[in-house]
């Protein structure tokens, strides 16, 4: 059942103040409109754009910083508002509710939390809710992008409205069947009971509750005081499938004749193929069915992926160079330094003292464990694609451009991804699979080799951040930050969203470049430091970049919090006391106090070890992290085969206020993962650009956090600020973690690190894998390594 394109829903209330009906009991009521759609079973619908009042920023005095009053969450939620398009919940005759979520699940737990929202409003068990991922729905325009930790922020209200409408229809059907009135009925666990004890299940009522014609209905949502599911810890809905190996990712799907396909890639970044010189030889290899030159390299299709790998290794390809041939980290950094904006030189008294530090953050790979993979079947003027995609509408458009078909001829199916971290915002894999399928005239199951991911995949841009602060007589008078970065690619939809919403944005933001706008909408220094300016400049467009989990914030906040510690020391203040003195808002103060208390901030630490702390404010919430870091030689020098060991966080406490929490167990999981990311960003993980290509080609080259880096003692504290709207979770754990570890490192070693990760300039500890061929040989000694 699909609503027509012109279905218009309206919200009964139109302004922020109208939202709250101060009834005598003091309870707030919210009335929302939705539909029971015409059909043979119950289908309830709500506008995905529900849930946000018109932008309130216009009435607010000119803010010192944009993100404080209007942030990326607001942009995404506002961008969704004009798209009057419906999401639907269907109740079947077994009492199950089914919902196609127009977002992408990559491990962040949104299918679980969305099932909880529906279960709450419908009064059924979470197990009776099936949340699927919707295919690309072009009519949703901006409202099918998964990013910016925005899913729950933007869907919290519309999903509940649709569920409430479904329940209302079931209650009305039950009243007829049980010969009573709706107000006397009680619903619980999918059963509706009348006063005399008569009852009917949702499954029995689903057909009776259906409407022959589409009806507009109004509902009130359940008040938070009556929540029994929202706010309770729930396990993931797909946990059992995961632990039994039954969960299907793209390469696990059985699409007829979609044989394994891989691509032989150029030896330098973004090089292009000129010719395959030994085509006949490659085609004659075992298992190989097709070979085709495509834009990014030479694609090969075979009976198994293993045979694709062998074929790639055998290819003799003539390549064109890439745009950064001959370049390295230092040459790119030199370009950034030339582009950096000057400081604004605020007028401060001559006696004021200055802290002026510059930090460098090296390239990092956003690749997930599941490599880029997509299935494509491009034949007879039509295309069908299956992939993990966070912006499927953009994917559909880019596939259309690549294979010269209208978007209406392309079906894009969204498959649960094996991690994203921003990587799957881009449809690189889907476009490449479509090109290969078109060139071969056959379905393909295309997968990137691991080595392809760090070397040719999306990266977090290399950047510098200079901070200059002035202080006098115990006060910080100014805090200026100039962040200069290799360009971040926002062509996945956030960019279009910003342009289309420009007229509604706060003064000044609409005129910025896309990246500068995103920067302004996400960055907020949470301290009262006098004149504060934080500006972004971009300088280099030659790299394959993206919004890696938490975009700019980990780097910006590492630079900020290190300078905050330097300022605290200059003013002879304890880092905790100093922050508490200058923090602007109560929610951030509360998480910092909680984290410091639980971690035992201030306790004596042995020489070579130290505690570090940091805060961050984003995604409608606040976070704080306190760590204990061991930098003693015996720890730093411990050896693990083919690994980076280095300093170890031995204990960490992470406190989070994420607004209204739907699933605390899921929120905790996101903080655990976010911490692991922040730890790697500061201590171990980077790409080295040398002679036009990245050296890393394996998880034993690119050192994302591993078990030997993990703090044995880790605790998440959820702080409840009593807020009635959810904040973001997926990226909220990264920035404060990265910054706390950096601050602890500076305190343990007595010197402020300037380049991140701190091990970047150590001698390369691995044997660099070949660039021709671009993929390493598969080992054969697995039987010797069993345990």
Partner 1 sequence: MPMHTFTVNGETVTVDADDDVRLLWVIRDLLGLTGPKYGCGINVCKACTSHLNGKAFNPCAVRVGDVAESDEVTTIEGLADTDGTPEGELHPMQEAWLERDVAQCGYCQPGQIMAAVAKVKQVRAEGRSVTEADLDEIRNVCRCGTYTRIREAVKLGAARM
Measured between alpha carbons, how far is 232 from 219 in angstroms, rounded to an integer? Answer: 24
Q: What is the 3-state secondary structure (H, E, C) of 366-381?
A: CCCCCCCEEEEEEECC
Q: Which is nearer to partner 1, 178 or 614 (CB)?
A: 614
List the one residue from 28, 714, 752, 768 that touches partner 1 (CB under 8 A): 714
* 398 makes contact with partner 1 (CB under 8 A): no
List the one residue from 573, 665, 690, 755 that touches partner 1 (CB under 8 A): 665
* 95 makes contact with partner 1 (CB under 8 A): no
At closest approach, how far in Å is the CB of 457 from partner 1? 13
Yes or no: say if 626 and 661 are a contact pair by the CB < 8 Å rule.
Answer: no
Residues 605-644 that bind partner 1 (CB under 8 A): 640, 642
At closest approach, how far in Å is the CB of 786 from partner 1? 4
Number of residues near partner 1 (by CB under 8 A): 77
For residue 266 the two structure tokens come to 């150029």
Q: Which is nearer to partner 1, 74 or 677 (CB)?
A: 677
What Rg value do the Cα atoms of the chain yield, rounded?
27
* 279 makes contact with partner 1 (CB under 8 A): no
* 39 makes contact with partner 1 (CB under 8 A): no
Angle among Cα 158, 163, 169 to the nearest 5 degrees reads: 130
Residues 370-389 that bind partner 1 (CB under 8 A): 370-371
* 247 makes contact with partner 1 (CB under 8 A): yes
* 708 makes contact with partner 1 (CB under 8 A): yes
* 343 makes contact with partner 1 (CB under 8 A): no
Q: Which is nearer to partner 1, 104 or 501 (CB)?
A: 104
Measured between alpha carbons, how far is 441 from 730 in angstroms, rounded to an integer? Answer: 39
Q: Which is nearer to partner 1, 416 or 588 (CB)?
A: 416
Residues 126-145 that bind partner 1 (CB under 8 A): none
* 369 makes contact with partner 1 (CB under 8 A): yes
* 227 makes contact with partner 1 (CB under 8 A): no
Q: Which is nearer to partner 1, 70 or 694 (CB)?
A: 694
* 767 makes contact with partner 1 (CB under 8 A): no
Measured between alpha carbons, how far is 761 from 748 in angstroms, rounded to an integer? Answer: 19
Contact range with partner 1 by CB under 8 A, out of 24-32, 55-63, 220-228, 416-424: 416-424
Measured between alpha carbons, how far is 215 from 316 in angstroms, rounded to an integer? Answer: 65
At closest approach, how far in Å is the CB of 377 from partner 1? 18
Rounded to 5 degrees, φ, ψ at 741 are -65, -40
Please choose, from the candidates 296, 299, 239, the residue with its C-alpha nearest in 3D space to the C-alpha of residue 272.
296
Strand pairing class (609-618; 621-630): antiparallel
At closest approach, how far in Å is the CB of 624 from partner 1? 18
Measured between alpha carbons, how far is 327 from 363 in angstroms, rounded to an integer? Answer: 13
- DSSP 8-state class, residue 252: G
Yes or no: say if 377 and 383 are a contact pair by the CB < 8 Å rule.
Answer: yes
At closest approach, how far in Å is the CB of 47 from partner 1? 30
* 368 makes contact with partner 1 (CB under 8 A): yes
Measured between alpha carbons, how far is 36 from 367 in angstroms, rounded to an integer? Answer: 42
* 176 makes contact with partner 1 (CB under 8 A): no
Measured between alpha carbons, how far is 62 from 744 in angstroms, rounded to an integer? Answer: 36
Residues 742-761 that bind partner 1 (CB under 8 A): none
List the one residue from 184, 189, 242, 284 that touches partner 1 (CB under 8 A): 242
Residues 668-707 that bind partner 1 (CB under 8 A): 669, 672-677, 698-700, 704-707
Contact range with partner 1 by CB under 8 A, out of 568-576, 609-617, 687-695, 775-783: 775-783
* 107 makes contact with partner 1 (CB under 8 A): yes
* 506 makes contact with partner 1 (CB under 8 A): no
Q: Which is nearer to partner 1, 293 or 670 (CB)?
A: 670
* 422 makes contact with partner 1 (CB under 8 A): no
* 307 makes contact with partner 1 (CB under 8 A): yes
**Residue 105 neighbours by CB under 8 Å, 6+ apart:** 111, 133, 416, 417
Yes or no: say if 297 and 262 are a contact pair by the CB < 8 Å rule.
Answer: no
Q: Which is nearer to partner 1, 299 or 515 (CB)?
A: 299
Q: What's the Cα-to-Cα distance from 185 to each of 172, 177, 179, 219, rounded to whole Å?
A: 9, 12, 11, 16
Point out which residues pair with 378 in neighbouring strands. 383
At closest approach, how far in Å is the CB of 716 from partner 1? 9
Dump the DSSP string for 429-487: HHHHHHHHHHHHTS-EEEE--TTHHHHHS-EEPPEEEEEEEEEETTEEEEEEEEEEESP
Kindly state the helix (H) or strand (E) to which residue 756 belongs, with its residue range: strand 755-756
- DSSP 8-state class, residue 270: T
* 158 makes contact with partner 1 (CB under 8 A): no
Measured between alpha carbons, how far is 329 from 540 in angstroms, rounded to an integer? Answer: 13
List the one residue from 169, 367, 736, 744 that touches partner 1 (CB under 8 A): 367
Contact range with partner 1 by CB under 8 A, out of 173-181, 246-254, 510-518, 524-532: 246-254
Point out which residues pair with 678 in neighbouring strands. none
Structure-derived torsion over alpha carbons of residues 263, 267, 272, 275, reported in degrees to the nearest 10: -80
Q: Which is nearer to partner 1, 160 or 236 (CB)?
A: 236
At closest approach, how far in Å is the CB of 607 from partner 1? 23
**Residue 717 neighbours by CB under 8 Å, 6+ apart:** 591, 594, 595, 598, 653, 654, 655, 656
Upstream peptide bond of 773 is cis (omega within 30 degrees of 0) = yes
Strand pairing class (31-36; 215-220): antiparallel
Q: Which is nearer to partner 1, 584 or 706 (CB)?
A: 706
At closest approach, how far in Å is the CB of 264 from partner 1? 15
* 313 makes contact with partner 1 (CB under 8 A): no
Contact range with partner 1 by CB under 8 A, out of 120-128, 181-189, 249-257, 492-500: 249-257
Handedness of CA 689, 691, 694, 696 (dihedral sign): negative
* 414 makes contact with partner 1 (CB under 8 A): no
**Residue 65 neighbours by CB under 8 Å, 6+ apart:** 523, 524, 525, 532, 534
Residues 508-537 that bind partner 1 (CB under 8 A): none
* 241 makes contact with partner 1 (CB under 8 A): yes
List the one residue from 254, 380, 634, 767 that touches partner 1 (CB under 8 A): 254
* 94 makes contact with partner 1 (CB under 8 A): no
Measured between alpha carbons, how far is 519 from 522 in angstroms, rounded to an integer? Answer: 5
List the one residue from 245, 349, 381, 607 that touches partner 1 (CB under 8 A): 245
Site map for partner 1, 443-472, x if CB under 8 A?
----x-xx----------------------
Within a 10 A sphere around the Cβ of 471, how many other Cβ atoms?
Answer: 20
Contact range with partner 1 by CB under 8 A, out of 217-225, 230-238, 329-337, 434-442: 230-238
Dump the DSSP string for 510-534: GGS-HHHHHHHHH----B--SEEEE
List the one residue from 286, 326, 441, 600 that touches partner 1 (CB under 8 A): 286
Yes or no: say if 353 and 570 are a contact pair by the CB < 8 Å rule.
Answer: yes
Q: Which is nearer to partner 1, 447 or 462 (CB)?
A: 447
At closest approach, how far in Å is the CB of 105 from partner 1? 8
Measured between alpha carbons, how far is 51 from 382 in angstroms, rounded to an integer? Answer: 37
Contact range with partner 1 by CB under 8 A, out of 313-321, 392-400, 530-538, 777-785: 777-785
- DSSP 8-state class, residue 215: E
Contact range with partner 1 by CB under 8 A, out of 4-12, 242-250, 319-327, 755-763: 242-250
* 287 makes contact with partner 1 (CB under 8 A): yes
């Amino acid at each position: 059942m699909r609503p027509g394109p012109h279905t218009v829903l309206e919200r009964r209330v139109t302004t922020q103040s109208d939202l709250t009906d101060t009834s005598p009991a003091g309870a707030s009521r919210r009335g929302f409109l939705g539909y029971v759609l015409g059909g043979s079973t119950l289908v309830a619908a709500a506008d995905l754009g529900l849930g946000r009042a018109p932008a309130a920023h216009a009435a607010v005095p000119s803010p010192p910083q944009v993100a404080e009053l209007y942030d990326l969450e607001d942009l995404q939620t506002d961008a969704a508002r004009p798209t009057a398009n419906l999401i639907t919940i269907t109740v079947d005759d077994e009492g199950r509710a089914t919902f196609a979520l127009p977002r992408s699940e990559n491990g962040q737990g949104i299918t679980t939390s969305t099932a909880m929202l529906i279960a709450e409003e419908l009064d059924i068990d979470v197990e009776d809710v099936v949340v699927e991922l919707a295919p690309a729905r072009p009519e949703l325009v901006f409202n099918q992008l998964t990013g910016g930790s925005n899913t729950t922020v933007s869907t919290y209200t519309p999903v509940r409205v649709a569920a409430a409408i479904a329940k209302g229809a079931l209650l009305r059907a039950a009243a007829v069947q049980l010969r009573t009135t709706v107000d006397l009925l009680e619903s619980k666990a999918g059963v509706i009971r009348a006063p005399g004890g008569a009852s009917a299940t949702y499954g029995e009522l689903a057909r009776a509750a259906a409407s022959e014609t589409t009806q507009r209905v109004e509902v009130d949502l359940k008040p938070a005081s009556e929540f029994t599911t929202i706010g309770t810890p729930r396990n993931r809905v797909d946990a059992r499938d995961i632990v039994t190996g039954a969960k299907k990712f793209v390469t696990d799907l059985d699409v007829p004749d979609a044989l394994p396909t891989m691509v032989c890639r150029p030896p330098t970044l973004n090089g292009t193929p000129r010719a395959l010189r030994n085509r006949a030889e490659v085609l004659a290899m075992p298992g190989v069915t097709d070979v085709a030159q495509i834009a990014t390299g030479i694609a090969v299709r075979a009976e198994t992926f293993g045979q694709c790998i062998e074929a790639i290794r055998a290819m003799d390809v003539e390549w064109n160079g890439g745009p950064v041939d001959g370049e390295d980290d230092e040459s790119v950094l030199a370009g950034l330094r030339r582009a950096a904006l000057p400081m604004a030189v605020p007028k401060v008294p001559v006696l004021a003292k200055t802290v002026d530090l510059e930090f460098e953050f090296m390239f990092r790979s956003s690749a997930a464990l599941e490599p880029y993979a997509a299935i494509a079947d491009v034949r007879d003027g039509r295309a069908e694609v299956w992939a993990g995609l966070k912006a499927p509408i953009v994917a559909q458009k880019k596939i259309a451009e690549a294979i010269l078909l209208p978007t209406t001829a392309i079906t894009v199916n969204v498959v649960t991804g094996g991690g994203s971290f921003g990587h799957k915002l881009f449809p690189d894999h889907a476009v490449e699979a479509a090109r290969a399928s078109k060139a071969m005239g056959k379905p393909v199951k295309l997968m990137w080799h691991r080595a392809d991911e760090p070397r040719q995949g999306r990266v977090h841009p290399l950047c510098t951040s200079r901070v200059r602060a002035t202080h006098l007589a115990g006060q910080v008078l100014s805090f200026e930050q100039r962040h200069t970065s290799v360009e971040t690619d926002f062509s996945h939809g956030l960019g279009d969203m910003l342009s289309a919403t420009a007229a509604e944005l706060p003064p000044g933001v609409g005129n910025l470049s896309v990246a500068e706008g995103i920067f302004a909408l996400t960055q907020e220094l949470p301290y009262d430091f006098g004149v504060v300016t934080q500006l972004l400049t971009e300088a280099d467009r030659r790299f394959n970049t993206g919004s890696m989990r938490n975009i700019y914030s980990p780097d910006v906040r590492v630079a900020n919090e290190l300078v905050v510690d330097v300022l605290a020391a200059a003013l002879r203040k304890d880092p905790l006391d100093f922050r508490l003195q200058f923090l602007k808002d109560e929610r951030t103060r509360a998480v910092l106090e909680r984290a410091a208390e639980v971690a035992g901030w201030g306790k004596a630490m042995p020489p070579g070890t130290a505690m570090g702390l940091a805060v961050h404010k984003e995604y409608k919430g606040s976070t704080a992290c306190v760590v204990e870091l061991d930098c003693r030689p015996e720890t730093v020098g411990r050896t693990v085969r083919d690994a980076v060991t280095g300093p170890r966080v031995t204990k960490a406490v992470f406190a989070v206020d994420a607004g209204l929490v739907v699933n605390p167990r899921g929120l905790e999981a996101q903080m655990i993962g976010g911490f692991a990311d922040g730890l790697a960003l500061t201590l171990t993980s980077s790409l080295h650009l040398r002679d036009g290509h990245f050296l890393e080609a394996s998880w034993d080259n690119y050192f994302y956090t591993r078990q030997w880096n993990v703090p044995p003692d880790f605790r998440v504290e959820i702080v409840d600020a009593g807020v009635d709207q959810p904040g973001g979770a997926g990226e909220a754990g990264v920035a404060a973690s990265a910054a706390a570890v950096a601050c602890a490192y500076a305190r343990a070693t007595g010197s402020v690190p300037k380049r991140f990760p701190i091990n970047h300039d150590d001698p390369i500890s691995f044997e660099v894998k070949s660039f021709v061929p671009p993929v390493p040989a598969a080992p054969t000694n697995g039987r010797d390594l069993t345990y």
